[in-house]
């Protein structure tokens, strides 16, 4: 212990003592590379790479923010936007019900994709026809009300989006699994299920070609 203190005070003294009497001297530079990194200018030639470019390409598989899988809707309806405009509170939920509208056009394609996504992500609890009888429920999972029940048949789309984004009671948030666009496509499909199982069956083979 005593020895350690001795060494410590020695180093402290060395660190404090000025390396030179000249007040303008910058002193000795230890590891000058740390001060003057051998950096290449971004767009300069670079002998270290085969293609001689300092500016590198993104790694294979990189998804650009402007990639087709992200739409303007996804950029606009980010989590920041939701928190600021329709926060996860009863008031935010009510506000979403009044003014949050589906920006994705109802087409054969959006409906078919909404159905496919519903079957991947929601059917396990809500059941194929949205009756709240999916496989998870049959194994004692949380039982959602049927979409066509008194409680949900008139549920506005904005509230649906709010619940899918933040989750509701026993239903978890699906914001990280589905882009905003995908959630809105699912909502198109859920709206057919609100009309009852018969309406759902009608969309089965024709995938909403009547829409
Ligand atoms: C783990 C089971 C589970 C999964 C998966 C699930 N839900 Fe739910 N969902 C529930 C339960 C339980 C409720 C009832 C929540 C409540 O009101 O207490 C519910 C409620 C809802 C409601 C009504 C929300 C409201 O505001 O009253 C909608 C709409 C809904 N779910 C849509 C979806 C969609 C769309 C998906 C897929 C993206 C999905 N759910 C996935 C269990 C689930």
- Burial (CB count within 10 angstroms: exposed 0-12, middle 13-18, buried 19+), residue 8: exposed
pLDDT digits (tens, 9 = 90+) for 155-178: 999 999 999 999 999 999 999 999
Domain containing residue 87: 72-206
- Residue pair 54/44 in contact (Cβ under 8 Å)? The answer is yes
Residue 196: predicted pLDDT: 79
Give the C-alpha separation, 170 to 164, whole Å: 12
Residue 16: predicted pLDDT: 47
Provide the domain count of the chain: 1
Mutate to test the pocket of ligand 1, among 89, 115, 125 (most ligand atoms within 8 A of CB): 125
- Ligand 1 atom closest to residue 134's alpha carbon, by position in its atom list: 2
Residue 209: predicted pLDDT: 42
Helix (H) or strand (E) holding 94: helix 90-99
One digit per residue, the tens of pLDDT, for the chain of length 211 reads: 556 655 555 455 445 445 557 888 878 878 877 777 778 899 999 999 999 999 998 898 887 766 666 788 888 888 999 999 999 999 999 999 999 999 999 999 999 999 999 999 999 999 999 999 999 999 998 999 999 999 999 999 999 999 999 999 999 999 999 999 999 999 999 999 999 766 666 665 444 444 3
Q: Is residue 84 included in any domain, yes or no?
A: yes
How many whole angstroms from 206 Cα to the centroid of ligand 1? Answer: 25
How many whole angstroms from 9 Cα to the centroid of ligand 1? Answer: 66
Residue 155: predicted pLDDT: 97
Q: Is residue 114 included in any domain, yes or no?
A: yes
Q: Is residue 12 included in any domain, yes or no?
A: no
Give the C-alpha separation, 37 to 9, whole Å: 32
Q: Is residue 139 included in any domain, yes or no?
A: yes
Q: Is residue 59 included in any domain, yes or no?
A: no
Q: Is residue 174 included in any domain, yes or no?
A: yes
Q: Is residue 42 included in any domain, yes or no?
A: no
102: domain CATH number is 1.10.760
């Amino acid at each position: 212990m005593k020895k350690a203190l001795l060494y410590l005070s020695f180093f402290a003294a060395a660190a404090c003592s000025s390396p030179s009497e000249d007040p303008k001297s910058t002193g000795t530079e230890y590891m000058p590379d740390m001060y003057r990194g051998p950096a290449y200018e971004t767009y300069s030639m670079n002998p270290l790479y085969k293609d001689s470019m300092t500016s590198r390409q993104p790694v294979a598989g990189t998804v650009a923010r402007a990639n087709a899988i992200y739409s303007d809707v996804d950029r606009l309806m980010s989590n920041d936007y939701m928190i600021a405009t329709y926060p996860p509170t009863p008031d935010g939920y009510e506000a979403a019900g009044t003014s949050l509208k589906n920006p994705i056009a109802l087409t054969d394609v959006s409906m078919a994709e909404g159905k496919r996504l519903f079957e991947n992500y929601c059917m396990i609890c809500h059941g194929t026809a949205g009756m709240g009888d999916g496989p998870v429920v049959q194994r004692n999972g949380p039982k959602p009300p049927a979409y066509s029940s008194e409680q949900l048949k008139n549920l506005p789309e904005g509230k649906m989006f709010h619940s899918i984004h933040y989750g509701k009671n026993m239903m978890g948030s699906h914001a990280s699994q589905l882009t905003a666009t995908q959630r809105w496509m699912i909502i198109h499909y859920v709206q057919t299920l609100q009309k009852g199982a018969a309406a759902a069956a009608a969309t089965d083979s024709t995938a909403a070609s009547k829409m």
